[in-house]
Amino acid sequence: MVNVIVLTMLLAACGNNKASESSPAASSATASAETSASPSASAEAAVEKTMTDALGHEVKIPANPQRIIASYLEDHLVALGVKPVAQWSVPNGIQYYLQTDLEGIPTLAWDMPFEAVTSFEPDLIIMGSASSVEGDKYTQYSQIAPTYTIGDKLNGDWRQSLLKIGEILNKSDLAEKVLADYEAKANEAKNKLQQVAPDQSVAAIWLVQKQFFVVSENLSSGSVLYKDLGLKVPSVVTELSKTSESNWLPISLEQLAQLDADQLFLINSDAATGSETLKDPVWQGIPAVKNGRIYEYPNTSSWLYTGSIANAQIIDDVLESLVK
């Protein structure tokens, strides 16, 4: 998930980014919310325990944490019935696809300033990547609250990340059920697509600040399209995926013209500014575009994210587009 964060901040810290070009301003650092973890559907006993995180820290996990901060891991929290005390944000952007559950939860800047984190009085902090606690950051966060770092390996695999957070929060049974439900949904969708769109190649394209990016074959919504749903990978996507570990890979108009995809999913972050790039003759000449086989979604959708909730919504979008 972290690659999307880095990419977004490099492209734009405001305006057209992966969350939205029109999000509310971030809440004051002194804001707080009376939020708590929902009762677990798991039968596991809620007791204080010590767990060793990915960086070798022994972390005392509270028996029943009530004020959790897990920035950019909120998809997993919501899936497990947990509301954090604050939610991830970039300037002018939040994870809109989660707002049915997170509406009203104060925002916390993506780089988690120490004073802001302190103001929310968390009783547990869960971090995704090792880079988020590099240097003396871990020491400072751990002085605020017990801090568990999942680590890059698990953080890069949403299934394993979900299961690890379930373990941390004594919700392993529920995490396994969430995962099983997702797999069942994906398999059912895959069977439908094999019946109505056999051998169809697809690609997801992101337009942001007049630049195009294509989703990696192996990450983010690319993993959903190609692994979970079994759709065909265009050769251009395969080649680009070999050159970068990012979720979204820059692609030129010339490369797009060679994109051998029967269907295109477009995530348009430039809609508010007119999407002028989509008027370019090269774009208009792409076969899938000429044939009307392009399906557009706003950047407030879940296509730029990953997790059981995000990916389930992507599956719904694909079925809506391809299964007539």
- CATH topology match: 24-170 vs 186-322: yes
Alpha carbons 240 and 217: distance in angstroms, whole number: 9
pLDDT in tens, 50-94: 999 999 999 999 999 999 999 999 999 999 999 999 999 998 799
Residue 294 φ then ψ, to 5°: -130, 135
In angstroms, what CA-CA distances link 309 with 9, 101, 176, 246, 314?
A: 23, 11, 14, 21, 9
pLDDT-derived band at 44, boundaries 50, 70, 90: low
pLDDT 10s digits, 223-265? 999 999 999 999 999 999 998 888 999 999 889 989 989 999 9
Select 186-322's CATH number: 2.40.30.170, 1.10.3720.10, 3.40.50.1980, 3.50.50.60: 3.40.50.1980
- Helix axes 172-196 and 158-168, enclosed angle (nearest 10): 160
According to CATH, the superfamily of the domain at 24-170 is: Nitrogenase molybdenum iron protein domain (3.40.50.1980)
Q: Where are the domains of the chain?
A: 24-170, 186-322
Contacts of 316 (CB under 8 A, 6+ apart): none
Angle of helix 308-322 versus helix 172-196 axis, rounded to 10: 20
Tabulate helix, strand, coil % of the chain (nearest 5): 40, 15, 40
pTM: predicted TM-score of the whole model, two decimal places: 0.86
Burial of 156 (0-12, 13-18, 19+ CB in 10 A): buried
Q: Please report which confidence band the pLDDT of residue 266 belongs to, taking 50, 70 and 90 as the band edges.
A: very high
Q: 127 phi and psi, to 5 degrees?
A: -110, 150
